[in-house]
Amino acid sequence: MRELSLRIDSGELLDFGYPLPGELSWGYRNQWIDRAALISVVDGLNAAGVPLSEPEDGMSVLLRDDHDRIDDLAERLVPLEGEASAKIWCFYVARHLDDSVKDLSVMFELLDVAWADLGYPDELRSVLFPREFKPAHLYIDLGREALDLFLNEWKRTLSSRDPEERLR
């Protein structure tokens, strides 16, 4: 069970590109997005003309209250997860906290909790500990600088994704 209770809005997943099917699956399966956000993201991808996987395509034609079918199709996304599927969620969670928590010390403490919930990925280590023995929640300027670098790198990565390569 996660320590940090937050849900990422579907718009946050589409602002700088789009999640791959396995990334979307990982976020849903690990409860970073709920069913409504999952369907909203699929609808947004579809409206933008981004190629959908077969399960996503099935979701795009379902009624929003067809929960059992949506969950069945979401389960079919799990095999599309790869080793890197969780990495993007470091970005989504960090960006969500950065946008919604104004006190930087508190934001870095919450990001530290999220780091545990995400399984301590290396991607966040340099943000939470921008210098050895200098945690971001105590050295806010260093943390802010590291977080900005991290977020900007992910924004570039997402915005450079080719929609045609989404299903490869």
pLDDT tens figures, 15-27: 988 999 999 999 9
**Looking at the domain assignment, is residue 164 inside a domain?**
no
Task: Give the closest residue to 118 by CA, choosing from 143, 91, 90, 140.
Answer: 90
Are 23 and 71 within one domain? yes
The answer to whether position 165 is within a domain reads no
Residue 54 lies in a domain: yes
Please write the tens of the pLDDT for every residue from 81-127: 998 999 999 999 999 999 999 999 999 999 999 999 999 999 999 99
77/31 same-domain check: yes
Q: Does residue 168 fall inside a structural domain?
A: no
Q: Which residues contact 39 (CB under 8 A, 6 or more apart)?
A: 59, 62, 64, 70
CB contact at 8 A, 121 and 87:
yes
Per the structure, the complete domain to which residue 39 belongs is given by 10-83
Provide the number of structural domains found in the chain: 2
Domain co-membership, 99 together with 60:
no
Residue 98: count other Cβ atoms within 10 Å of its Cβ.
18
Q: Which of 83, 103, 123 is the last residue before a domain boundary?
A: 83
